[in-house]
Amino acid sequence: MGRGSEGPGDDGGHGVPSADGARREPPAGFVGCDETIEKLYFYLDGELTEERRLEITRHLDLCGPCVGAYGFEAELRKLVATRCQDRVPDELRARVAEALRAESATAD
Ligand SMILES: [Zn+2]
């Protein structure tokens, strides 16, 4: 007895798939937060294919927390780029990834 908005089905319209999104599945190609965070590095490095970039962009459009993570990572990269003009050290990347993971875990 979930939704009782509609009266008893006297329509007899059983088995007809509703085209009006009865399911709650994410749109096709929608990547999860974990995947987005993981790919942020590649996204920022420009190492993703156009298709992948679009997926990340689409996710960032819909997901506030990930936009925050993206902004954080982008700022960090800018900082590192101007300071050492080098790639982010693996150790730092790992720490940032860990921090982002913890953040997204608590920001529920
Ligand atoms: Zn997200």
- Walk along the chain (108 residues) in steps of 10 and give the mean pLDDT of each run: 52 50 58 89 89 90 90 85 68 86 74
Distance 91 CA to ligand 1 centre (A): 24
Query: Are the C-beta atoms of 58 and 65 separated by less than 8 Å?
Result: no
Distance 28 CA to ligand 1 centre (A): 15
What is the pTM (predicted TM-score) of this model?
0.47
Alpha helices per DSSP H over the chain: 33-45, 50-62, 64-84, 90-106
Distance CA 67, CA 50 (A): 19
Task: Give the pLDDT of residue 13.
Answer: 47
Distance 81 CA to ligand 1 centre (A): 25
Distance 42 CA to ligand 1 centre (A): 16
Distance 50 CA to ligand 1 centre (A): 19
Task: Give the pLDDT of residue 89.
Answer: 74
Distance 68 CA to ligand 1 centre (A): 9
